[in-house]
Structure 1
Amino acid sequence: GGNVLRMSSGIQIKPKTAVQKSKASSPLPRSPEPAIKPQPKPSDKLNPKTIDPFGAHSRPTSAFAAIYAKGGIPCRLVHGSVKHRLQWECLPETVPFDPLLVTLAEGLRETKHPYTFVSKEGFKELLTVEGAAEKAIPLLPRLVPVLKAALAHSDDEVFGRGLDALVQLSAVVGPSLNDHLKHLLTNLSRRLMDKKFREKITVALQKLEQYGGKVS
C-alpha cells in the first residue's frame, strides 16, 4: 500500500493517524482556560468552611458557642486598650455554679475568639468567689471528665487552658480532687514527653500535690 509511511523502526503508521497525533499534541491557538490555574490551598481541602461556609459540611456550632449566643453565660468580653477583661452581668457570687462552672469548663475546648477568653477567664473568676469550694466540690464528678477532654485535646492551647483550670480548681477544692486525679494523670504524663510542656506540667503536678496532699 502506497498510502502507508514506513518509519525507520519498521512500525507502519497510516497518514490519518499521524495527522490526528499531531493535532492532539499541538497546542490550540487560543486556550479557553488560563494557562496557570489557581491551585487550591491544601487547607481549603481540609476545611470545608473555606469552600462553602453555609454548606452541609460546615461544623455545627459547639454547645458553648450556642449557650453564649443565647446569653446563657452571664459575662461578656470587654476589649481593653491593653488587655481584655470580663464584664459580669451580675455579681459572680450570685451566679449558680451548676451548670455555669461546668459550661465554662466545656468552653475550654473552644478554639475561637471570644469563647477561648470567656471560658478561661470566667472559670478562673468564678472560682475566686466566696464559698467557691462548697459550690465546686459537688460538681467534681462532672467537671473532671470535661477537664480530661481538654487535657486530651490535640490543640496545645486547649491543653494549656485545661491544665491551668485544673490547677485553679485544685487550689479551691484541695484534697477533694485527689480521688479524681487518677483519671487525669494519664493525659498529663502523655504530654510530659513534649518538651514544650514538660516544665509547665511539672509545676502543675507540684501545685496539685501542694493543694491536695501527695499525688500518687
Structure 2
Amino acid sequence: MCAASRVSSVPKTRPVRRKVPDAPDKTVSKISDQLNPRTVDPFGKSGKTQSAFAAVYSKGDIPCRLMHGSVKHKLQWQTPPEEIDFNPLLVILAEGLRETKHPHTFVSSEGFRELLLVEGATEKATPLLPKVVPALRASLLSKRQMDKKHKERVTAALQTLEENGGKECLAIIKSRVPTYSPAFF
C-alpha cells in the first residue's frame, strides 16, 4: 500500500466548537482557546482617551522630538526655536506640564523651558500670558505637580515670565495664581 492511500484512509477529526465565556456569540475552534480565554489586546486601542497635549504630540504638530542619549535626553527641533511662532505652541507646552507619561513629561517641560530661553521670548510670550498662566496653575494643582521638585520648576517658570514680562505680567499671574509670590519685590 502506498503512502498516499494510507494518509487518505486515516479518519479526519473535526475541531471542537465551544462557546467563549466572555463572548457568547463566538465559538472556539481549539481547546487551547478555551483554556486561555482572550484578554486585553496589547496592540488594540486603549479605552483611555489621550490628553490634548498627547494628541497634538502624536499627530506630529509639536516641532520637536525627544532624542534619547545614553545618559541625558535632549530635544531636537525641526525648526530653530528662535523662528517658531509661540502662539499656540507655548500654550500647548504649558498644558503638557500636567502629563505623567514619558516622553510627554520631558517634551513639555524641556520644550517650554527652551522656548522661554530664546532671544526675544519676552515679546512673544507676553501676549499669551492669559492662556499660559491658567495652564501653569492647572499643572501646579495636578497630583503630579504637588511634589517639591515640580512645584519649584513651575514657580521658576512663573518667575521667569514675571521677570521678562514686567508689571503687567505680574498682575496677570497674580490674578490667575493668587498664592504666587513675586520673585522681585
TM-score by length of 2: 0.68
Structure 2 CA distance for partners of 1:171 and 1:124, relative to 1, 3 Å: farther
Q: State the distance in 2 between where 1:132 and 1:115 align.
A: 23
C-alpha change, 1:172 and 1:52, in structure 2 (3 Å) is: farther
* 2:180 pairs with 1:180: no
| The one of 160, 165, 172 aligned to 1:168 | 160
2:63 is aligned with 1:74: yes
Residues 52, 170 of structure 1: CA spacing in aligned structure 2 closer, same or farther, 3 A cutoff?
A: farther
Compute the displacement of 1:154 (Å). Answer: 2.0
Who is 2:35 aligned against? none
Name the structure 2 match of 1:143: 132
Matches within 5 A, 1:33-182: 58-155=47-144, 156=146, 159-182=151-174
- The CA RMSD measured in Å over matched residues stands at 2.4
Counterparts of 2:71 and 2:163, CA distance in 1: 28
2:163–2:183 CA contact under 8 A, matched in 1: no
Percent identical across equivalent pairs?
A: 53
Q: Find the residue that maps to 1:77 and give its secondary structure.
A: strand
What residue identity is the alignment partner of 1:78? M
Question: CA offsets per residue over residues 127-157 of structure 1, 9 Å max, x none?
Answer: 1111111111100111111111111112235
1:40 corresponds in structure 2 to: none
Kept in 2: contact 1:127–1:172 (CA 8 A): no
Once the two structures are superposed, residues 54-100 of structure 1 have per-residue CA deviations (whole angstroms, 9 ceiling, x without a partner) of: 588x3201110111111111011111122111110111111110000
* Mapping 1:186-201, distance limit 5 Å: 186=179
Higher relative contact order (CA 8 A, sep 6+): 2
Question: How many corresponding residue pairs?
Answer: 142
In terms of fraction of residues, the more helix-rich structure is 1
Say if 1:78 and 1:87, in contact at 8 Å, map to a contact too.
Answer: yes
Larger Rg computed on CA atoms: 1
1:185: Cα distance to partner?
3.0
Q: State the distance in 1 between where 2:86 and 2:119 align.
A: 12
